[in-house]
Amino acid sequence: MPDIFQFNSNKPIPATNQSGQNTGASTTASNPTQPSDPINPVAKTTAAQSIANLPQTAMNLFSTLSVKPRGVNFANQDPNEDVILFFRADFITNAFWIFATIFLLFVPIIFAILAPMVNLSLSMLNPQANLVILYFYYLLVFSYAFISFMYWFYNVGMVTNKHIIGVQFSDVTYKNISTTPLQEVADIDFTQQGFSQTFFDYGTVSIQTEGINPKIDLVKIPQPGKVTDIILQIREALNE
C-alpha cells in the first residue's frame, strides 16, 4: 500500500495530565490486535490465484487464441495437467494465400477473355485436351489452398501448467511435437515488427530455455503480450 495509507502504531502521543495540559512526556499507543505488518494479507494475490482467476474464452474450430479451453487434450498428457493456453498463427496471416487462390481461380477466365485480343487461339488443341488441362490446373490451385490451410490449422501450440507444447506440421507426411518443461524457461519476451503486426496485434514470442532446445519461437501468434504475461504467471506459480 502507498505510504499515505500506512498507519504507524508506534508513533509517540503526547501525555496530558488530568487538567488536559501537555506534560511534555510522550507515550506509545498500544493495540494488541493491530498486526505488525501494515500490508493487508488478504489483498495479496499469488500467481496461482491469478491463473485460476483468468477468464475463460470461447473456443471454436478456427480459434487462434483461447484461454483455459475446454475439451483440448494431447498425447502423453499427465492426469493433473491442464491446458491453460491454446494458440495458432493469427488468421490475418492467411490473407496472402487466400487472395492468391481467388486470383488463380479467375486466371482461366481472364485468359479466355484476353486471348482473342492478342490473337491467341487454343484451336490447336481439341476440346477434350483443353478440358483436361483446365481440370489439372484447378487441381493444382485447390491443392495449394488445401496445403496452405492445413499448414495454418495444424501448426498449433499449447501451454499447460507444466509444459510448453508445439506441434509443427509442414505437409501431409511430416509432423513434429516438441515438449518443454516450464521450469526450464529462463527468459521470455515478444516482438512485433511492421505495421501489420502492430495494427492487428500479433507477433512472435521468444522463449529462452535451459534445456535441449535453447530457444523456442511462437511465430505470428495473436496478442503476444497477453501470452507472455500468462506464461510468466504460470512459471511464477511453479516456483511458489
**Residue 16, beta-bridge partner list:** 22
pLDDT at 154 over 70: yes
Q: Are residues 146 and 177 in the same domain?
A: no
Containing 60, the helix (H) or strand (E) segment is none
Is residue 13 included in any domain, yes or no? Answer: no
Helix (H, G, I), strand (E, B) or coil at 181: strand
- Predicted pLDDT of residue 235: 87
Task: Identify the CATH number of the domain in which residue 205 sits.
Answer: 2.30.29.30
Q: Are residues 118 and 234 in the same domain?
A: no
Highest mean pLDDT among 22-26, 42-46, 220-224 belongs to 220-224
Q: Are residues 169 and 132 in the same domain?
A: no
pLDDT in tens, 67-82: 999 888 887 888 888 8
- Predicted pLDDT of residue 79: 86
**Range in 2-6, 36-40, 163-167, 224-228 with the lowest mean pLDDT:** 2-6
Sheet containing strand 156-160, edge to edge, reads: 65-67, 83-88, 156-160, 163-171, 174-181
Total domain count for the chain? 2
Average pLDDT taken over every residue of the chain: 79
Q: Which residue from 205, 207, 208, 211 is spatially nearest to 227, judged by alpha carbons?
A: 205
Q: Residue type at 155? A: N
Q: Are residues 105 and 159 in the same domain?
A: no
Q: Are residues 159 and 144 in the same domain?
A: no
pLDDT at 40 over 90: no
Q: Are residues 143 and 51 in the same domain?
A: no
- Rounded Cα–Cα distance for residues 163 and 80 (Å): 12
Which triple of cell numbers denotes residue 227? Answer: 501470452
**Range in 91-105, 118-132, 149-163, 192-206 with the lowest mean pLDDT:** 118-132
| Distances 123 to 21, 109, 112, 119, 128 between C-alpha atoms, Å | 120, 16, 12, 12, 11
Domain boundary at 127, 151, 175, which? 151
* Domain extent for 112: 94-151
Single pTM value for the model: 0.72
- Measured torsion, CA atoms of residues 41, 42, 44, 49, in degrees rounded to the nearest 10: 140
Residue entry with cell 485460476: 52
Residue entry with cell 535453447: 214
171 pLDDT tier (thresholds 50, 70, 90) = low
Q: Residue 151 carries which DSSP code?
A: H
Helices (H), 54-178: 95-114, 127-154
**Stretch 51-66: mean pLDDT, rounded?**
86
